[in-house]
């Protein structure tokens, strides 16, 4: 049985829109999922080839949206919401605690490739601030004091 290639799947997306450029967002999402959670030069070329656009066009779209990653992320992605509800409940202290615990600045990835730390806009859990998404799973009511335990738990996880 033949398996659809990336190109074939992008053609299916492309068929849903009158203009192939309109399929760039779902095609980039697909590429990011297939390329280990980020968009490499190769990923941009594949999307561009499949949609008959340029890699530069794809990059211009991807670089605008926070959901696209232009650098290889760590094995664990830690995203601290820094929007208003979380900010008033101590998000900045949570961010600082992660920076201290991981030896990283926000936006960075640890040298061993284990952790990426970033801040994000509201992720829909305002009533349970501060919200931290760890590998896309939300942790609620996180306080700075919880951070060492979260990091320890993640360090214990086997790759
Ligand atoms: S403001 Fe943080 S989840 Fe909404």
Q: Cα torsion for 111, 112, 114, 115, to the nearest 10°? A: -10
Task: Order the strands of the 137-139 sheet from edge to edge.
Answer: 115-120, 76-81, 132-134, 137-139
Reported pTM: 0.80
| Position in ligand 1 atom list of the atom nearest CA 125 | 3
Q: Which residues line ligand 1 (CB under 6 A)?
A: 81, 83-86, 122-126, 129, 131
pLDDT digits over 94-111, tens only?
A: 999 999 999 999 999 999
Q: Which atom of ligand 1 is the closest one to the Cα of 123?
A: 3
The residues spanned by each domain of the chain are 6-62, 76-156
Cβ contacts of 147 within 8 Å, gap of 6 or more: 94, 97, 98, 101
CATH says 6-62 is which class? mainly alpha
Q: Which fold has domain 76-156?
A: Glutaredoxin (3.40.30)
**Which atom in ligand 1 lies closest to the alpha carbon of residue 91?**
2
Structure tokens at 36: 């280990």
- DSSP designation for 5: P
What token pair was written down for 158?
């086997």
- 9-38: per-residue pLDDT in tens? 999 999 999 999 999 999 999 999 999 889
């Amino acid at each position: 049985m033949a398996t659809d290639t990336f190109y074939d799947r992008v053609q299916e997306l492309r068929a849903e829109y009158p203009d192939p450029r309109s399929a760039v967002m779902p095609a980039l999402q697909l590429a990011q999922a297939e390329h280990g959670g980020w968009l490499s030069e190769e990923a941009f070329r594949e999307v561009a080839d499949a949609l008959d656009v340029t890699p530069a066009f794809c990059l211009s779209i991807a670089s605008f949206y926070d959901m696209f990653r232009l650098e290889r992320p760590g094995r664990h992605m830690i995203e601290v919401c820094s929007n208003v509800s979380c900010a008033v409940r101590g998000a900045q202290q949570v961010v600082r605690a992660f920076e201290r615990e991981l030896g990283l600045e926000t936006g960075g990835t640890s040298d061993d490739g284990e952790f990426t730390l970033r801040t994000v806009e509201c992720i829909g859990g305002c009533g349970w601030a501060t919200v931290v998404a760890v590998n896309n799973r939300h942790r609620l009511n996180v306080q700075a004091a919880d951070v060492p335990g979260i990091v320890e738990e993640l360090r214990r996880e086997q790759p």
